[in-house]
Amino acid sequence: MTHDDDRSLTQALEAAREAGRRCALATIVATKGSTPRKVGARMIVDPDTGLVGTVGGGCGEAEVIEAAYKVIETGKAQRVNVDLTDDLVSWSPAVCGGVMDIFVEPVSPEFS
User: What residue ranges do the domains of the chain occupy?
Assistant: 3-107
Q: Which residues contact 2 (CB under 8 A, 6 or more apart)?
A: none
Q: How is the chain split among helix, strand and coil, in percent rounded to 5?
A: 35, 30, 35
Check whether 57 has a pLDDT greater than 90.
Answer: no
Could you give the 3-state DSSP secondary structure of residue 11?
helix
| Residue 106: predicted pLDDT | 96
3-state SS, residue 10? helix
Please report the pLDDT score of residue 19 as a whole number: 93
- Are the C-beta atoms of 112 and 17 separated by less than 8 Å? yes
pLDDT value at residue 94? 54
Tell me the pLDDT of the chain averaged across its residues: 87
- Rounded CA-CA distance 25/52 in Å is 10
Q: Out of 31-35, 79-83, 92-96, which region has the weakest mean confidence (pLDDT)?
A: 92-96
Q: What is the mean pLDDT of residues 52-57?
A: 93
